[in-house]
A and B are shown apart, each in its own frame.
Chain A
Amino acid sequence: MRFAFAYPLTAALALTATAALPQDLITRDRVGPADAPNVMTFRLTAFDLYSSDDATREFFEERFLALMAEYPDWRIETQLQTDNIGQEQARMLEQVRAGRGPDCAMIDSSQLGLFKSAGVLSPMNAHFTQDQIDDLFPFVRDGVSDADGNILAWWWFTSLQVLYRDTSLVPDAPATWEDLQAAALTTVEAGREGVLFNGGRWEGTAFDWLPNFWAQGGELVDADGRPVFNEGDNRDKMLAAINFYKDLVDSGAAPSRVTTIINYDEFNAAAAAGTAGLFMGGNWQYGQLRGTLSEEDFANWELSELPGPSADQRATGTGGWTIGAFSDDATAVEICARIAYEIYATEGNAYQGLLPTSASLYDAYDAFDGPEYDAFAEALVNGVARPGVAIYPEISNQLQVLLGDVLSGSATPEDALDAAAAAVDAAFERL
């Protein structure tokens, strides 16, 4: 009788021990054996290894364990970042400068320039082949390289802005600003709201509007990072882009409520409610629309490249995240580079449906089959990244104020632009 209990108990204990082993190798703040003599720190966001979605978390746990099995003497101490990107990244830079930063970290692509100019990133050249580097989209390659051609970080996924339209009202994709206004007025006549876009006080407003400036060849800052958007030709390009938005609102092609939109979810809600005809949103919203709308309604929605002042002047804003190393230890840098490429940039992106930064990766995974990915890849050719300079957040802040003032009729485009430029210049002096 005693043995009758002893065998199952022993078997259960053995199974528990086996099952517990991987759990012991991954905790809320560690990957790898707790007693490993070498330690590196990795600061990451909470959307993958520590995702609230069980399947996503397990996918990344498996990949991390497989990688770290090749480094049995190493363990990774993980540190989570909060959603407050600006504060988090500023604090991280301060810590790195003081010698208290992580060895490897996720860096928002819009903040990468800050870290590059601070000279705190360790080159990763040795861990990437020339083919892998050449395969990066041009704006990505420029973003992660320094003047000497060193690869200072790996941009593992990107995002871009596109124009969504209800093809039952707007069958052909508007290619120019004029086309867009005409198409939006068509939807208004059909009882819809016209074209929706971010116009409130948040980063999305500046980010979604800037392609109109970039499409004309405008530059926010010069090679030294000094704000120049109100100088020379740039001023005219700024005013043209501002007036494009102003005309949309003044003509009724866009509702005045765009100045209150501070969330991309507003567009999904309007599409679901059947009140939207067109909107400028992010690539990730395509999947959200598929999940929100009925199959029949979703079939009406298509996306295209953002329109420009003319059909051959196009641009789109690109975002996404990079991974960079701050460590002087060669093995830590190697592990960091392998995490970036082998876990995140390739299989991780395919699993999560995030946009790769290399053209060939779209062909390498079935997950990227589909007309939407062809459209994304096509638009990414005209991708422009936000300048990676310390003054960018303030430029964005002032552009948000500018657009709000102009679209609500509180200021003329010229006055609002002068005020924004003066405020940015003053802030630049203090940096």
Chain B
Amino acid sequence: MIRDRRVWLWFAPVMLVLGGVYLVPVADVIRFSFSDATLLRPVTGYGLDGYRAAYNDDSLGVVLRNTGLFTLLSVISLQAMGLAIALLLVRGDRRRLYGMGALRTIVLAAWVIPGIANGLIWQMLFSEAPFGAINSTLRLIGLAPVAWLSDPGNAMISAVIANVWQGSAFSMIVFYAARRAVDPVLYEAASVDGASPVAQFIFITIPQMRGALLVNSILVTIQTLNTFDTILALTGGGPGRATEVLSLNIFNRVFYSYDLGGGSALAVLLLAISMALTVIYLLVLMRKGAR
């Protein structure tokens, strides 16, 4: 423990920058959430009306259900896809297979595409027009076309697919680094003992990567909760409200209803959900001795 108080002098610049960039906007959102501010006029009073109006909105239940479903499906898929690609890469590296660098690059390419562009790409792929890319392929192989975006249930699945396609690279990077850090001796000893690859995965890989799983779970959950650009471009939240998640609802509330106070109240809810999930992940996974 460093007891020299002068150390805070060294910390001061970074604390000021981080505080200015992150804490001040958050504090401003919290302030707005207690106000009657709209985009059309400044604050004229403070109170709980914004919270009352936003939380009594009949559509909030549907929006929260969509948010929960979208986040749950996305996080599970992102973890699974990221882990699968990372293990594939590690195995390929170990066997010195050609093309592993190209595979990493291809997966990472999706990650750098902006959310809006990602939504537009998948909108073209999922197009239900007679010339839509995926449905045309399905017809070519004799399968019936799918209502990817016009069916409310399928639309949510399509939004998850678009999100997972873009976000898997991030999970892959985290898991790839974590898997490379696992001591090879553990696998060698398990092989000598006759452990199958599945047993090695369950009893060595997963426990050894618990820390990475924890960190990745937190990060992709928060990232998914804040995702709205891909959905905005892909479905706009429709049909109806079938794919309208909380972050998109906040965007609509502020920029369609001009309700800055109500939108901020929901943004505080989103912040609270993110923080609560982070704490839950920490409690569950750290208690089991995550590395």
Interface-facing stretch out of A4-12, A209-217, A232-240, A254-262:
A254-262
Main secondary structure of the interface of B (DSSP, over half): loop
CB distance from B236 to the nearest CB of A (A): 3
A33 within 8 A of B: no
Provide the residues of chain A in CB contact with B183, threshold 8 Å.
none
Nearest to B36 among chain A residues (CB) is A430
Provide the residues of chain B in CB contact with A86, threshold 8 Å.
255-256
A396 adjacent to B256 (CB under 8 Å): yes
Q: Decide: A404 near B258, CB < 8 A? Known: A269-B131, A275-B131, A426-B57.
A: no
Q: Which of B40, B58, B129, B255 contacts A431 (CB 8 A)?
A: B40
CA A427 – CA B255 in complex, angstroms?
A: 12
Interface residues of A in 79-119 (CB under 8 A from B): 86-87, 90-91, 93-94, 97, 114, 118
Provide the residues of chain B in CB contact with A257, threshold 8 Å.
127-129, 147, 149-150
B211 within 8 A of A: no
CA A257 – CA B131 in complex, angstroms?
A: 13
B38 within 8 A of A: yes
A202 adjacent to B129 (CB under 8 Å): no
A410 adjacent to B40 (CB under 8 Å): no
A347 within 8 A of B: no
Provide the residues of chain A in CB contact with B50, threshold 8 Å.
430
Provide the residues of chain A in CB contact with B41, threshold 8 Å.
94, 97
B259 adjacent to A201 (CB under 8 Å): no
A419 within 8 A of B: yes
Provide the residues of chain B in CB contact with A404, threshold 8 Å.
238-242
Provide the residues of chain A in CB contact with B242, threshold 8 Å.
404, 408, 410
Nearest to A423 among chain B residues (CB) is B59
B115 within 8 A of A: no
Interface residues of B in 28-46 (CB under 8 A from A): 36, 38-42
Most buried by A among B36, B127, B152, B236: B236
CB distance from A221 to the nearest CB of B (A): 15
Interface residues of A in 357-385 (CB under 8 A from B): none
B131 adjacent to A394 (CB under 8 Å): no
Q: Decide: A200 near B257, CB < 8 A? Known: A94-B40, A408-B152, A426-B57.
A: no
Q: Which of B58, B151, B259 contacts A408 (CB 8 A)?
A: B151
Count of chain A residues with a beta carbon within 8 Å of a chain B beta carbon:
49
CA A184 – CA B237 in complex, angstroms?
A: 28
B53 within 8 A of A: yes
Q: Decide: A90 near B147, CB < 8 A? Known: A200-B236, A397-B257, A430-B53.
A: no
A401 adjacent to B238 (CB under 8 Å): yes
A393 within 8 A of B: yes
A48 within 8 A of B: no
CB distance from B222 to the nearest CB of A (A): 25
A302 within 8 A of B: no
A133 within 8 A of B: no
Provide the residues of chain A in CB contact with B49, threshold 8 Å.
430
Q: A318-352, CB under 8 A of B: which get 1 and which 0?
A: 00000000000000000000000000000000000
Nearest to B130 among chain A residues (CB) is A275
Q: Which of A275, A397, A416 contacts B252 (CB 8 A)?
A: A397
CB distance from A431 to the nearest CB of B (A): 6
Most buried by A among B57, B147, B152, B258: B258
Main secondary structure of the interface of A (DSSP, over half): helix
B82 within 8 A of A: no
A405 adjacent to B131 (CB under 8 Å): no
CA A260 – CA B39 in complex, angstroms?
A: 29
CA A260 – CA B243 in complex, angstroms?
A: 12
CB distance from B248 to the nearest CB of A (A): 9
Count of chain B residues with a beta carbon within 8 Å of a chain A beta carbon:
40
CA A130 – CA B244 in complex, angstroms?
A: 50
A260 adjacent to B241 (CB under 8 Å): no
B261 within 8 A of A: yes
A430 adjacent to B262 (CB under 8 Å): yes
B235 within 8 A of A: yes
A427 adjacent to B259 (CB under 8 Å): yes
B150 adjacent to A93 (CB under 8 Å): no
A69 within 8 A of B: no
Interface residues of A in 378-431 (CB under 8 A from B): 390, 393-394, 396-397, 400-402, 404-405, 407-408, 410-411, 416, 419, 422-423, 426-427, 429-431
Q: Decide: A430 near B38, CB < 8 A? Known: A256-B150, A273-B131.
A: yes
A270 within 8 A of B: yes
B129 adjacent to A270 (CB under 8 Å): yes
B130 adjacent to A193 (CB under 8 Å): yes
B240 adjacent to A390 (CB under 8 Å): no
Provide the residues of chain B in CB contact with A179, threshold 8 Å.
none
Q: Which of B53, B238, B258 contacts A90 (CB 8 A)?
A: B258
Provide the residues of chain B in CB contact with A193, threshold 8 Å.
129-130
Interface residues of B in 13-67 (CB under 8 A from A): 36, 38-42, 49-50, 53, 57-59
Provide the residues of chain A in CB contact with B147, threshold 8 Å.
256-257
B239 adjacent to A405 (CB under 8 Å): yes
A178 within 8 A of B: no
Q: Decide: A201 near B238, CB < 8 A? Known: A90-B258, A430-B257.
A: yes
Provide the residues of chain B in CB contact with A426, threshold 8 Å.
53, 57
CB distance from B140 to the nearest CB of A (A): 16
Interface residues of B in 240-274 (CB under 8 A from A): 240-242, 244, 252, 255-259, 261-262
Give 6 new A-B contacts, CB below 8 A, not counting A400-B236, A404-B238, A407-B239. A200-B235, A257-B129, A401-B59, A429-B53, A430-B38, A430-B53
Task: Pull 20 A–B residue pairs with CB atoms less than 8 Å apart, ordered by A.
Answer: A90-B39, A94-B39, A201-B235, A201-B239, A257-B149, A259-B239, A260-B123, A260-B128, A262-B238, A269-B131, A390-B40, A397-B252, A397-B256, A405-B239, A408-B151, A410-B152, A416-B240, A429-B53, A430-B259, A431-B38
Which 4 residue pairs across A and B have the least CB separation, nearest first?
Answer: A201-B236, A405-B240, A404-B240, A404-B239
Query: Which residues of A are at the interface with B, using a C-beta cutoff of 8 A?
Result: 86-87, 90-91, 93-94, 97, 114, 118, 193, 199-202, 255-260, 262, 266, 269-270, 273, 275, 390, 393-394, 396-397, 400-402, 404-405, 407-408, 410-411, 416, 419, 422-423, 426-427, 429-431
